[in-house]
Structure 1
């Protein structure tokens, strides 16, 4: 008697599960390369430091639909500069895909020229423009 195929009984993970794992792996690899770039190398070719301080009370203001004083709508920098984000708020903030815990300071190297609209939870519209020039 011939065997019949049961297409609903797949073995292994669902295709979307595999895609998630691949995307998570790529994101982790990109994050690791950014962290390594921020930690290593000589100081000779290092650019300027661009600081962004997220003040206490930011989450409450943003959740109430208010703008936060001191948080720019646009950050301008040059390739080789480092964006240093300090979170003084009581909530985790997210900038360009990075989670920055309360009290944490994160260094983000700016390695590529371009104009980017990226996520920023410290803004009422949840985005910030980053202009990185050569």
Structure 2
């Protein structure tokens, strides 16, 4: 059974600055609960492209994610290619509200491998991704100055 989550944050930074932080895996440990980030090819401090696979470590957990869609300043879409999910696709949408800055909407659709664990994963991922979105918003503000 497919589950979902959605979290939101707001950054005073421009969407292009927020996007620039998102596409550089090397920045993620600076603003998120992730301990370490690598890319399978290239430098994690360079901007990644659609098709690139990134490897994140959080404690003992290792997550491999492939970028499937990038729209500069607007959208970042990735799939988890290992771990406890049969299917996991996350999307980070960026929008510029009238009052300025960037609204960040981080959401995903996922199907856990273990039946009946969807409610647990939804609870866990909502909390974890709220920290991700808030950290991204704050880091982008510092990066844009």
TM-score (norm. length: structure 2): 0.24
Q: Which structure has greater strand proportion?
A: 2
Max Rg structure: 1
TM-score (norm. length: structure 1): 0.25
Q: Which structure has greater helix proportion?
A: 2
